Amino acid sequence: MTSAFIPEHEIYGLLSRVGIKTPRYYFVDDDSKVADAPFASGDRVVIKGIARELWHKSDHAALAFCDFDVDAVRAMHSSMSARVGRQFDWLGTLIAERVEAQSARNAPSEIFVSLQRDRCCGAIISCGFGGLLTEDWARELKQSLLVWPASVYTPEEAFEELSDHWLGRILLGTTRQQSALVDATSLLGFLKKLWKLDELMTLEDLSLLEINPLVIDHAGDIVALDGVGMRSEEKHVETCPVPLQDDSFLKPRRIALAGVSAKAGSVGSLILENLRHSSLPEDGLLVIKPGIDNFAGIRCLPDVAALADDPVDVLILALPAERCVQMVERLCAEGRGAEVVYIVAGGIGDGADKSNFGERLSELLESRRQSGQWCPAIVGPNGLGMLLSPLKLNSLFIPQRKLNVRFTPDSNVALISQSGAFLITRLSRHSNLNLKYGFSIGNQLDMKLSDFMALMARDKSVRVLGVYVEGFVGADVCAVAKLVQEFRAENRHVIVYKGGRSQLGQTAAAGHTGAMTGDYHVQKRLLLKAGAILAESFNQFNAVLKWMAAYPDLQTLGKLAIVTNAGYETVGSVDTLGDNDSGRLYGLSADNRAVLSEVLQHHDMQGLVAAANPLDLTPMADEEVYLDCVKAMIEFGAGVVMVGLVPLSEQLDTQQLTQAEAFAGKLKALAQSSGRLIGIVIDAGVPYQRYKAVFESQGFPVFDGMDMGVLGINVLKKSR
């Protein structure tokens, strides 16, 4: 993006328009105008050399402090213009009033503010310690810049965070032996002006404003002493303004596939085999293949041009990169044929694209949309496929024998993944993960993550949405955040794993999807503030998804109780909670312990088991003991109960499964009647898969270890 530098005196004009105080100033572009400056002889002033791309005046001897004198200022103007003009495009001299600022005792009190219209997150307001040592402060202090994405923060919320930050405490005089430099009303008022400044930036098409420093004068006003900025010279072009308000995507009636062959195991043939088992109408599936009338009993069309007279909702292209681009070009030339084109191939707009196919396709779509011409919405490239349970539709190129996809039309869970492998491995790992919709969206060359989320937002039956994303295209993270807010307002849940957070991760993401990773720190704050459940690891994502799929109507989490027959699980669960989070365990009162002791005595376990939380029942406990202890924990007030079942105990029915099924049914009834969460842990190997399936069939989240179940609760607790 090309931009134009905005010098300090123009920044002052912008700040004045929103009510932010600046020094008195006068700009001169030749020395004959110095005498017209509104300063009296002897006034204390600052002389600043102004030039394009001159960001740090003090580094280039373009800053001087003096008493105003016409001849002296003319001389400074002449010397600065000669010296600075050798390196920069000279503009003139700024004469500004020297502001007498308050200072804190033994603490920094200058302020730095920047407003940046970020390509990933829209408007970002940053605030921290200012002055010449701004970068040093940010690097050395444990509390660095405060970052407020303006689309989800209000000035009042920013004020709360600033008040808790060391800078805010210094300004407000709440640190030890400090006097207030500014009152709370004025500081909040200043923040409100920053939000107005953001609106002005939109109107003026500005990409950056940086104000450093701001100081507090003796009247208690916040005054901007310096500033620079950038003006954007490129207008934002929406990549995919296709609203998809019809049902052509979630409820396609006709699908065409190009790229099939008789070769066993080819991508196109695998997709076709999966599509054949869908509930599309009899004429709902076509193959694009020249020279034959049908392929494997399915009607063929000679090329995509034939779709102009025989249109489909979705066209899947399982072809090499260049041929995919050519087919989209042909469709556009015809002016109709398919509402959505799903490109399976990579090598378009990613690290493998050595022929600029991505640029070629993007330019085609942009030019046609700008001129009002028809073009399809593009999914991918590098899109593995989609799952639509209501139609029993599977367009993945993974054979059913490798991935047994179970369609669950009444499911309330959906998963959107930029990585196709992430989508299919979640399905493979979690045998009871039933999706209503699953999408592999690939490189987001056209259709973005927010477009798919908007589709899910329309279907109110989707209560839980999992998202794996490696990069946000343009300012899409803002659109994503707004959709997260929409989900949360309806007590629906969005779980996000953002890949490519580290420098190496960003390189890896860009290499395989062409992802624009952006600044994760800002993205994280934006998504968390919007209400997303943010997972920092695959294990966290898996654990949270299990909990939320089992309890999609979850609103709040109570405290945790743990009932197990293994001592190591009681220890490990507390270790996973951590020292700072041990308060999440439900604390048993003396009355609770007495009641629990009676329960244990009823089952002849007195002297063997201590009434505690976590509760170690030892391998002597059978299903009845478990059930009564879980009931007791819920009656005490625990909001979540983790039930650890090490199945090697002789007391548990892990073979016939009659008692296990009855136990699982009673636990399910207890969870439903109490409104509490019950999770199951079965830490055992392959011989106990049937035992695990008993609890999975009741809809419980079943974990392989106590640490995984508690890990999910940790993440949920932090997000709620």
Range in 62-71, 521-530, 543-552 the model is least confident about: 521-530
Please give the residue that has the higher pLDDT: either 254 or 584.
254
Q: Per-residue pLDDT tens for 379-413?
A: 999 999 999 999 999 999 999 889 988 899 999 99
pTM of the entire structure?
0.83
Specify the CATH superfamily of domain 111-232.
ATP-grasp fold, B domain (3.30.470.20)
Strand boundaries in 70-190, DSSP class E:
89-97, 111-118, 122-129, 146-149
**pLDDT band at residue 122, thresholds of 50, 70 and 90?**
low
Strand order in the sheet with 560-564: 615-616, 560-564, 640-644, 677-681, 702-703
- Which CATH number is 560-719 given? 3.40.50.261
Q: Inform me whether the pLDDT recorded for 30 exceeds 70.
A: yes
**pLDDT band at residue 137, thresholds of 50, 70 and 90?**
low
Q: Inform me whether the pLDDT recorded for 515 exceeds 70.
A: no
The pLDDT assigned to 606 comes to: 84
Q: Per-residue pLDDT tens for 631-665?
A: 999 999 999 999 999 999 999 999 999 999 999 99
Identify whether the C-beta of residue 547 lies closer than 8 Å to the C-beta of residue 493: no
| Rounded alpha-carbon distances, angstroms, from residue 535 to 54, 338, 527, 545, 708 | 42, 37, 11, 10, 13
Range in 162-166, 193-197, 519-523, 642-646 the model is least confident about: 519-523
Q: Per-residue pLDDT tens for 195-240?
A: 999 999 988 889 899 999 999 999 999 999 999 999 876 554 444 4
Q: Inform me whether the pLDDT recorded for 506 exceeds 70.
A: no
Tally of CA atoms within 13 A in the half-sphere of 165 that contains its CB: 24
CA distance 372 to 79: 55
Nearest to 95 by CA among 16, 35, 52, 173: 35
Give mean pLDDT, residues 667-688: 95
Give mean pLDDT, residues 73-91: 93
CA distance 717 to 585: 12
CA distance 650 to 100: 82
The pLDDT assigned to 131 comes to: 80
Report the DSSP beta bridge partners of residue 610: none
Q: Inform me whether the pLDDT recorded for 246 exceeds 90.
A: no
The pLDDT assigned to 119 comes to: 59
The pLDDT assigned to 98 comes to: 96
- Give the pairing of strands 464-469 and 413-417: parallel
SS3 state at 672: helix
Other beta carbons less than 10 A from residue 618's beta carbon: 15
> Would you state the structure tokens that stand for residue 644, as one six-digit string?
């650890």
- Give the pairing of strands 111-118 and 122-129: antiparallel
Give mean pLDDT, residues 7-26: 96
The pLDDT assigned to 97 comes to: 96
The pLDDT assigned to 172 comes to: 96
The residue type at 70: V
Q: Cis link prior to 552 (omega < 30° from 0)?
A: no
Give mean pLDDT, residues 690-718: 93
> Would you state the structure tokens that stand for residue 371, as one six-digit string?
């001129």
Identify whether the C-beta of residue 451 lies closer than 8 Å to the C-beta of residue 240: yes
Report the DSSP beta bridge partners of residue 240: none
Q: Per-residue pLDDT tens for 331-368?
A: 999 999 999 999 998 889 888 889 999 999 999 999 99
**pLDDT band at residue 511, thresholds of 50, 70 and 90?**
very low
The pLDDT assigned to 571 comes to: 83
Please write down the HEC assignment for all residues of 232-255: ECCCCCCCCCCCCCCCCCCCCCCE
Other beta carbons less than 10 A from residue 608's beta carbon: 13
- Which CATH number is 248-407 given? 3.40.50.720
The pLDDT assigned to 136 comes to: 61
The residue type at 226: D
Cβ partners under 8 Å of residue 598, min gap 6: none
CA distance 525 to 495: 14
Identify whether the C-beta of residue 418 lies closer than 8 Å to the C-beta of residue 488: no
Domains of the chain, by residue range, sit at 24-97, 111-232, 248-407, 560-719
Cβ partners under 8 Å of residue 505, min gap 6: 499, 517
**pLDDT band at residue 568, thresholds of 50, 70 and 90?**
confident
The pLDDT assigned to 140 comes to: 59
Range in 51-60, 69-78, 130-139, 451-460 the model is least confident about: 130-139
**pLDDT band at residue 575, thresholds of 50, 70 and 90?**
confident
Q: Do domains 111-232 and 248-407 have the same CATH topology?
A: no
Identify whether the C-beta of residue 184 lies closer than 8 Å to the C-beta of residue 172: yes
Identify whether the C-beta of residue 345 lies closer than 8 Å to the C-beta of residue 320: yes
Nearest to 596 by CA among 583, 584, 609: 609
Give mean pLDDT, residues 300-326: 96
Tally of CA atoms within 13 A in the half-sphere of 176 that contains its CB: 1
Range in 295-309, 414-428, 515-529 the model is least confident about: 515-529
What is the sign, positive or negative, of the torsion defined by CA atoms of 644, 648, 653, 655?
Answer: positive
Domain 24-97 architecture: 2-Layer Sandwich (3.30)
Give mean pLDDT, residues 600-628: 94
The pLDDT assigned to 233 comes to: 65
The pLDDT assigned to 141 comes to: 57
Nearest to 134 by CA among 214, 246, 61, 204: 214
The pLDDT assigned to 134 comes to: 57
The conformational region for residue 306 under phi > 0 = left, psi -120 to 50 = alpha, else beta, is alpha
Q: Inform me whether the pLDDT recorded for 72 exceeds 70.
A: yes
Q: Cis link prior to 381 (omega < 30° from 0)?
A: yes
Q: Provide, rounded to the nearest whole percent, the portion of the chain with pLDDT above 90.
A: 74
**pLDDT band at residue 489, thresholds of 50, 70 and 90?**
very high
Q: Provide, rounded to the nearest whole percent, the portion of the chain with pLDDT above 70.
A: 92
286, containing H or E segment: strand 285-288
The pLDDT assigned to 384 comes to: 92
Tally of CA atoms within 13 A in the half-sphere of 323 that contains its CB: 12
